[in-house]
Structure 1
Amino acid sequence: MDGAPEVDTLRSLKRISDPTRARILRLLLEAPDGRGSVTRLAERLELRQPTVSHHLKLLREEGLVVRAQDGRTAWYSITPAEVDRVAELVHEDQPSDDAAALDRIVTDLATRYRGILAPESIDQYVRDSFDRLDGRKNRASLTSAFAVSRLDAVLRARGERSAEPEVLFVCVQNAGRSQLASAILRQLAGDRVIVRTAGSEPADTVRSTIVTVLDEVGTPLGGEFPKPLTDEAVRAADYVITMGCGDACPIYPGREYLDWDIPDPVGQPITAVRAIRDDIEGRVRDLLEHIVRERLVNATTTD
Structure 2
Amino acid sequence: MSALMPLSRDRARRGRASRGNRAASSRWRVYRLSSMDSVVEVPPIAVLADPTRARILRLIRDSADGRALVSRLAETLGLRQPTVSHHMKALLADGFVTREPEGRVVWYSIAPDRYDAVVALLGDPAEGAPESEPDVDRIVADLAVRFRGVFGAETIAAYVAESRDLLAQHGAPLLASRTAAFAASRLAAVARSEVRTVSDASPSAPPEVLFVCVQNAGRSQLAAAILKQLAGDRVVVRTAGSEPAADVRGSIVTALDEIGVGIGGEFPKPLTDEAVRAADVVVTMGCGDACPVYPGRRYLDWDLEDPVGRPAATVRAIRDDIDRRVRTLIAELGI
TM-score range, shorter chain: 0.7 to 0.9
- 4+ aligned runs moved over 6 Å, structure 1: 20-23, 53-58, 83-88
Taking a change above 3 Å as real, the CA distance of residues 92 and 131 of structure 1, as seen in their structure-2 partners, is farther
Q: Is 1:191 aligned to residue 191 of structure 2?
A: no
Q: Is 1:257 aligned to residue 257 of structure 2?
A: no
Using the size of structure 2 for normalisation, the TM-score is 0.69
Q: Which amino acid aligns with 1:36?
A: R
Check whether the contact 2:57–2:110 (CA below 8 A) recurs between aligned residues: no
Instruction: Identify the range of structure 1 (249-258 vs 114-123) with the bigger mean alpha-carbon deviation.
Output: 114-123
Q: Which amino acid aligns with 1:50?
A: A
Tell me the equivalent position of 1:111. 145
Show structure 2 runs of 5+ residues with no match: 2-50, 197-201
Tell me the equivalent position of 1:138. 174
Q: Is 1:243 aligned to residue 285 of structure 2?
A: yes
Check whether the contact 1:67–1:74 (CA below 8 A) recurs between aligned residues: no
**Equivalent residue for 1:270, pick from 285, 293, 312:** 312
Tell me the equivalent position of 2:100. 70
Instruction: Identify the range of structure 1 (74-83 vs 169-178) with the bigger mean alpha-carbon deviation.
Output: 74-83
Tell me the equivalent position of 1:288. 330
Cα-to-partner distance string for 1:190-249 (whole Å, 9 max, x where unaligned) = 010000000000111111111111111111111111110000000010000001000000
- Equivalent residue of 1:188, what SS? helix
Tell me the equivalent position of 2:184. 148
Q: Which amino acid aligns with 1:67?
A: V
Q: Which amino acid aligns with 2:75?
A: T
Q: Which amino acid aligns with 2:271?
A: L
Check whether the contact 2:167–2:179 (CA below 8 A) recurs between aligned residues: yes
Tell me the equivalent position of 1:91. 126
- Equivalent residue of 1:263, what SS? coil
Check whether the contact 1:180–1:214 (CA below 8 A) recurs between aligned residues: yes
Taking a change above 3 Å as real, the CA distance of residues 82 and 158 of structure 1, as seen in their structure-2 partners, is farther
The offset of 1:264, in angstroms, is: 0.8
Instruction: Identify the range of structure 1 (112-121 vs 254-263) with the bigger mean alpha-carbon deviation.
Output: 112-121
- Equivalent residue of 2:195, what SS? coil
Q: Which amino acid aligns with 1:121?
A: T
Show structure 1 runs of 5+ residues with no match: 2-13, 43-47, 294-303
**Equivalent residue for 1:38, pick from 66, 69, 72:** 69
Tell me the equivalent position of 1:123. 157
Cα-to-partner distance string for 1:66-101 (whole Å, 9 max, x where unaligned) = 4212346232137421587699843355544426x1
Tell me the equivalent position of 1:4. none
- Equivalent residue of 1:98, what SS? coil
The offset of 1:269, in angstroms, is: 0.9
The whole-number CA distance in structure 1 between the counterparts of 2:57 and 2:110 is 13
- Equivalent residue of 1:125, what SS? helix
Q: Which amino acid aligns with 2:246?
A: D
Q: CA RMSD in A?
A: 3.3
The whole-number CA distance in structure 2 between the counterparts of 1:87 and 1:146 is 35
Q: Which amino acid aligns with 1:75?
A: Y
Check whether the contact 1:38–1:52 (CA below 8 A) recurs between aligned residues: no
Identity %: 52
The structure with the largest helix share of the pair is 1
Tell me the equivalent position of 1:298. none
Q: Which amino acid aligns with 1:191?
A: D
Taking a change above 3 Å as real, the CA distance of residues 272 and 122 of structure 1, as seen in their structure-2 partners, is same
Higher RCO by CA contacts (8 Å cutoff, separation 6 or greater): 1
The whole-number CA distance in structure 2 between the counterparts of 1:130 and 1:123 is 11
Instruction: Identify the range of structure 1 (264-273 vs 67-76) with the bigger mean alpha-carbon deviation.
Output: 67-76
Matched pairs, number: 261
Tell me the equivalent position of 1:232. 274
Q: Is 1:50 aligned to residue 74 of structure 2?
A: yes
In our comparison, the structure showing a higher alpha carbon Rg is 2
Check whether the contact 2:286–2:303 (CA below 8 A) recurs between aligned residues: yes
The offset of 1:25, in angstroms, is: 3.6
Q: Which amino acid aligns with 1:222?
A: G
Q: Which amino acid aligns with 1:158?
A: E
Check whether the contact 1:199–1:228 (CA below 8 A) recurs between aligned residues: yes
The whole-number CA distance in structure 1 between the counterparts of 2:247 and 2:264 is 13
Check whether the contact 1:186–1:195 (CA below 8 A) recurs between aligned residues: yes
The whole-number CA distance in structure 2 between the counterparts of 1:169 and 1:155 is 19
Q: Which amino acid aligns with 1:76?
A: S
Using the size of structure 1 for normalisation, the TM-score is 0.76
